[in-house]
């Protein structure tokens, strides 16, 4: 389980408790971008008592995509077969992990979807944020052809073989664009993708990392993927 963090001290301890209580032998890697609130110190303290907790402390804020790329490399080097992405703010419920693992037995990438089968399973988001997210996913499907309903979600499980097939050094995007790019590259390589429904609950502690730059990056990235695909340059 890879969890990027920046100022998540109020959440990370409770999240580690919830993950480590699950009966699946999860190893948890926290990738922290030098949080000034002491997030890394909370994780380091937990590491001293539980060898399943790992910490990758980076020198500063380098972005979500960069954090996951470093986390993927860390997990692959240590032989992980199932590699998860998960937010630190309890937007993603640890209780859903058994559903991901079951679906991953026969699929290479499992996506937790907020918009499956025409429904919307989002709690506590303002209407403007919900509309932006829903429309962004419709836009992504229209531009790229990626056949998923929730391409921007961050609760995912990769099989090892899918990540090994992607050149992580050529994945440049961050934010929601990173989620789109990784799923697109899995799809174009012929890996099996399945969406499963999740309940997404907006954070109760800490602050959102959403910004205008993240939105524009995603809007531009889908066209880059489309043109790269047309000219056979998806790496």
Label residues 17-26 b or e (16+ Cβ within 10 Å = b). Answer: eebbeeeeeb
pLDDT at position 234: 63
Question: Is 179 domain-assigned?
Answer: yes
Cα of 224 vs its chain's centroid, Å: 21
Is 52 in a helix, a strand, or coil?
coil
Question: Is 76 domain-assigned?
Answer: yes
pLDDT at position 30: 98
CATH number, domain of 46, equals 3.90.550.10
Confidence of residue 175 (pLDDT cuts 50, 70, 90): confident
pLDDT at position 231: 64
* pTM, two decimal places: 0.89
Query: Domain limits at 44?
Result: 2-230
Question: Is 181 domain-assigned?
Answer: yes
Q: Is the dihedral of CA 124, 193, 158, 221 positive or negative?
A: negative
Question: Is 118 domain-assigned?
Answer: yes
Question: Is 235 domain-assigned?
Answer: no
Cα 191 from Cα 72, distance rounded (Å): 17
pLDDT tens-digit readout, 25-37: 899 999 999 999 9
Sheet holding 193-197, edge to edge: 53-57, 28-32, 2-5, 82-85, 156-159, 109-113, 193-197
How many structural domains is the chain composed of?
1
Higher pLDDT, 215 or 61: 61
pLDDT at position 117: 83
pLDDT tens-digit readout, 74-102: 999 999 999 999 999 999 999 999 999 99
């Amino acid at each position: 389980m890879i969890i990027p963090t920046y100022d998540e001290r109020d959440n990370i301890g409770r999240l580690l408790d919830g993950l480590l209580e699950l009966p699946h032998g999860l190893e948890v890697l926290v990738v922290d971008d030098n949080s000034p609130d002491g997030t890394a110190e909370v994780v380091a303290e937990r590491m001293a008592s539980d060898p399943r907790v790992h910490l990758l402390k980076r020198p500063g804020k380098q972005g979500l995509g960069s954090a996951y790329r470093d986390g993927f490399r860390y997990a692959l080097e240590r032989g992980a077969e199932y590699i998860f992405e998960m937010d630190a703010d309890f937007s993603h419920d640890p209780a859903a992990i058994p559903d991901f693992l079951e679906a991953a037995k026969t699929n290479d990438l499992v996506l937790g979807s907020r918009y499956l089968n025409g429904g919307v399973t989002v709690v506590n988001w303002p209407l403007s944020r919900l509309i932006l997210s829903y429309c962004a996913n419709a836009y992504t499907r229209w531009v790229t052809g990626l056949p998923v309903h929730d391409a921007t979600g961050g609760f995912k499980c990769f099989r090892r073989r899918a990540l090994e097939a992607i050149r992580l050094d050529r994945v440049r995007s961050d934010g929601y664009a990173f989620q789109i790019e990784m799923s697109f590259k899995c799809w174009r390589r012929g890996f099996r993708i399945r969406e499963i429904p999740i309940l997404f609950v907006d954070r109760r502690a800490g602050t959102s990392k959403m910004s205008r730059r993240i939105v524009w990056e995603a809007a531009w990235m889908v066209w880059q993927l489309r043109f790269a695909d047309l000219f056979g340059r998806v790496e």
